[in-house]
Amino acid sequence: MKKVLLFLLTLLPLLVSGQVKRTIHVETAGTLPTLISGEEKYEIEELTLSGELNGTDFKFIREMAGVNDKVCKEFDGDWIKWVEYIPTEGILKSLNLAESKIVSGGEPYYYEGDKPITGSAWIEKYYTAADAISSYLFARTIIESIILPNSITSIGSRIFYNCSQLKSITIPKNVTEISNGAFTNCPGLTSIIVESGNQKYDSRNNCNAIIDNNNQLIAGCKTTIIPNSVTSIVGLAFSGCSGLTSFTIPNNVKSIGEGAFSGCSGLNSINIPDDVTSIDVMVFSDCSSLTSITIPNNVTSIGDRAFQNCSSLIYVTLPGTLTSIGSLAFYRCINLTDVYCSAENVPSAEATAFYELHNISLHVPYASRDAYKTTIPWNVFKSYLVLSSTDTQESTKCSKPKISIVDGKVTFDCETSYVTYHWSISSPSGTNGNSYNMSMGLLPITIYVYATKDGYQNSEVATYKFSGLVGDVDG
């Protein structure tokens, strides 16, 4: 009995900490499925490959890494086809492809096509291309770390789309082309390194980002620190980076591309540099934690859906230089209570710019108030208040208020004296206003408040989530 027990204790560390690792040379592209047995396929956690790989091999790798793309069909008077992404038992977390070479050919490695309401989806098929990491190659997998082939020269869009467990990536020195959105929806990504010797891209100053020769930031992650040398952020650079909470953009940045911060659901504060002249399409859409935004004075246009689904947004400050606002720019900003616009000439705005938003106060210059009241869609606001002369000038910022509950009552406090508090309450039912009937029993509720004072800039927004017990206070 003692000998058996001793054997089990000796074996236990291997069972607990042991990882199945394999190193395989693929002599002929498309043959990887014949080199790994059915039992091993879902047991390998670390895999090193060399030789030539095509679409057939990558379809197999994707299945080892937790996902199988299945084209489904059903008959409803006609054949309806769509794609579902079925989880597998694969546990592949680490993949080393440094000595491999990607070639064209083989079967599709990825399919795309949502189930339609009527008719069939357009099924898009993706194939490998020589010396390229093609679009969606590792999308939806559970891979945590990967070493890309030394021979690749281009990287497609969304190659790691929805790779929630991806932590680190190194870009080889021979890469000369990287598409926008390569790392979309990679919330766990913390390390991005460009190999030294790359002639077009770098990750200067250990910034955890990819920057090109023109000082454009191509891709970043939640640990990125943008160097002062960067002058623009391209489209989708941080898209889906839900781990990003607050962010400082250097003053040298002059442009921010389409959807650059879309889906950054944890982002609660961000600055926009003074030299930016336009807010691009969907640039901050689905930033559901963003509570306030101040658009700088040189901005002339706000694009379509720029702040769509920013459900925690409480107030917006628009500059006097603004001339146009696109469609659905503030759609579903359900907690928006105040818009401060210092433009004396009413900016042109698409009819849906403030779609389904009615419980909002608009603060505008006195001489322009009547014009705003009679101009579509500016005529949908609840009230029209006059900006003070200091609202359009640089000034000291009010301190962020503190929220507390004393003797069952909500109280506000601010280090800046004699401020006016602007507050609202939201609930799971979608209620948004300055009162809430607790007997409705819909908890938790969220209390939002910010402070204003003549001669001061508006404070940041403080929030308090109340679930029936006194909890943590933001601010």
Q: Which residue has the tokens 């069909």?
A: 73
Q: Are strands 409-413 and 402-406 parallel, antiparallel or unpaired?
A: antiparallel
pLDDT-derived band at 114, boundaries 50, 70, 90: confident
What does residue 301 show for φ and ψ, rounded to 5 degrees? Answer: -145, 150
Can you tell me whether residue 301 is helix, strand or coil? strand
Give the gyration radius of the chain's Cα atoms: 27
Residue 14 vs residue 71, higher pLDDT: 71
- Cα gap 220→207, rounded to integer Å: 9
Tell me which residue of 465, 473, 471, 422 sits closest to 446, measured CA to CA: 465
pLDDT greater than 50 at residue 28: yes
pLDDT at 358: 80
pLDDT greater than 80 at residue 386: yes
- Cα gap 217→214, rounded to integer Å: 9
pLDDT greater than 50 at residue 401: yes
Q: What is the pLDDT of residues 198-233, one digit of tens each?
A: 999 999 999 999 999 999 999 999 999 999 999 999
Region of residue 407 (phi > 0: left; psi between -120 and 50: alpha; otherwise: beta) = left
pLDDT at 295: 97
Q: What is the pLDDT of residues 162-202, one digit of tens each?
A: 999 999 999 999 999 999 999 999 999 999 999 999 999 99
Q: What is the DSSP string of 337-400?
A: -EEEE--SSPPEE-TTTTTT--S-EEEE-GGGHHHHHTSTTGGG-SEEEEPPGGGGS--PBPPP
What does residue 463 show for φ and ψ, rounded to 5 degrees? Answer: -130, 150
pLDDT at 70: 84
Share the mean pLDDT of the chain: 89
Task: Name which of 112-116, 153-157, 240-244, 369-373 the model is least confident about.
Answer: 112-116
Q: What is the pLDDT of residues 340-355, one digit of tens each?
A: 999 999 999 999 999 9
Q: Percentage of the chain with pLDDT > 90?
A: 75
3-state secondary structure 212-275: ECCCEEEEECCCCCCCCCCCEECCCCCCCCCCCCEECCCCCCCEECCCCCCCCCCCCEECCCCC
> Which sign does the torsion angle of CA 41, 44, 46, 51 carry?
negative
pLDDT greater than 90 at residue 423: no
Residue 117 vs residue 174, higher pLDDT: 174
pLDDT-derived band at 432, boundaries 50, 70, 90: low
pLDDT at 335: 93
pLDDT-derived band at 471, boundaries 50, 70, 90: very low
Strands of the 209-212 sheet, one edge to the other: 201-202, 209-212, 216-220, 232-233, 255-256
